[in-house]
Amino acid sequence: MNQLIRYCFELLLLSALLPACQPATASEPNQDEALNLEEITIAELQEKYASGTLSAAAVVQYYLDRIAATDQSDPGLNSVLTINPDALDIARRLDEERVNGRVRGPLHGIPVLLKDNIDTGDQMPTTAGSRALEGSVAPDDAFIVKQLREAGAIILGKTNLSEWANFRSTHSSSGWSGLGGQTHNPYRLDCNPCGSSSGSGVAVAANLCVAALGTETNGSIVCPSSANGIVGIKPTVGLLSRDGIIPISFTQDTPGPMARTVTDAAIALGVMTGVDQADAKTTASEGQFKTDYTPYLDSTALKGKRIGYYTAPKGTHYKVDTLMESAMQTLREQGAEVIAIEDRLPSQTGSLSYQVMLYEFKDGLNQYFGSLGPDAPVKSVGELIAFNQADEVELRHFHQDILEQAAQMGPLDSDDYRSTVSEMQRLARAEGIDKIMATYELDALIAPTGAPAWKTDHVNGDHYTLGSSSPAAWAGYPNISVPMGFIEGLPVGLSFYGTAWSEPVLIGLAYDFEQARGARRAPEL
């Protein structure tokens, strides 16, 4: 176990065992009975807080104990990289605020975990899982973290991830980082959690927090959501600020909420929206974003809707095809018309996207290193490559060919870069999703998010069977993955995606499907 985590746990558990050091307040009722908060929702917690039957401090302690028992044990899930040493103190302060009549917002007293590429200006490092950034503390909170705190959320800690958000090697193992090691799927420990928001997906699935944040460039929210049986919302690029997030692609990156229910994910999404002058992409969200998406949670949302079934993954995995047919029957029973869509995005879209990411990865990382000031552990992509070559762990399982390719890319003011971005977006949007939805008069598109989790393999790397994240990722459009069922004990999700800023529609459709399908099932730890 990481020594920092061990040290933090010892301090936190010691404080819990010494009540004389923290006198009880009216917001901390007698919590002698063992808590069981498995599968609890935000609304249920808020009800218990309001009635005085539960305190945020007790809830935080519950999750800390559960992390120690199921995540940091041996063998464990290994999804949590760092614990916030201030978590209990923050919870107690929020309990006091509630007693004094102040409730900050819908997340008041709700413990959440952050993917460890999201800055916090506190005692927790932000590392992207890299040993090169071990101990690197950001100067301040990311924009969305500030919003979470203002809404009363308790940042419980940070989760392990695929190092550098899984954009370092073409032979990587999702969920592995040099700093955190391998994260394991809670439904079967020898199976992969998918990446790169692997730790966030596992932690939510295993009830180590109420909700978590992930980030996605292509599949990194929806894939771990599918593989771990939870809900993940990948918003329109620009709906949520990327300020203070270690980047891959200015064009495709976005953070997003991961939770056990569509309702909880929608609550977290609304808290984080808003225009941020530090992220130019968010200016386009003016007039588009909502601060509350719960009014769109409609159990009749599917009625009368035209849903396009994106058939590109069909025939890849017959068990997924069977599950998909069952899911589509659920959609029809809820009143939707399902139309098979065989149109595919032009084949060159993917290669254009990859070139865009290489350009932007180099530029974005160099800018991020610069934001850390003169004491940054590494100051450029070149220094990072050299660090990895000298380190005894970083290249143990796979190489860094993507980093090396990115290092060779030119500046973002080049004609080649600009034309590549323009062509990719034209093909993915006007000639892709927008055209398909207009041609067939669709309200949304669906596809299986992925196949069941594969066995983790550090020799050969990941074994993706299928995935449907690319169209929405290339376009920068929203995508929501919802549990649709299990294949031999492993969860599989259904993705709903559509045009820019269509989150209200997609949330409604996803909620209706979730309520009718009832596919979420907690892992047996």
Query: What residues act catalytically?
Result: 115, 196, 220
| H or E element that contains 382 | helix 381-390
Cα 519 from Cα 303, distance rounded (Å): 20
Cα 460 from Cα 171, distance rounded (Å): 7
Cα 4 from Cα 135, distance rounded (Å): 10
- For strands 181-182 and 176-177, give the pairing: antiparallel
Residue 487 DSSP code: E
Instruction: Indicate the SS3 state at residue 522.
Output: coil
Contacts of 186 (CB under 8 A, 6+ apart): 77, 202, 205, 206, 228, 523, 525
Write the secondary structure of 254-322 as one string of H (helix), E (strand) and C (coil): EEEEEECCHHHHHHHHHHHCCCCCCCHHHHHHCCCCCCCCHHHCCCCCCCCCEEEEECCCCCCCHHHHH
Structure tokens at 93: 């302060």
Cα 233 from Cα 512, distance rounded (Å): 15
Structure tokens at 252: 């495709």
- For strands 337-341 and 306-310, give the pairing: parallel
Cα 220 from Cα 339, distance rounded (Å): 27
Residue 133 DSSP code: G
Nearest to 84 by CA among 141, 8, 136, 148: 8
Q: Are 251 and 281 in contact (CB under 8 A)?
A: no
Structure tokens at 494: 């259904």
408 CB neighbour count, 10 Å cutoff = 9
CA 235 to chain centre: 11
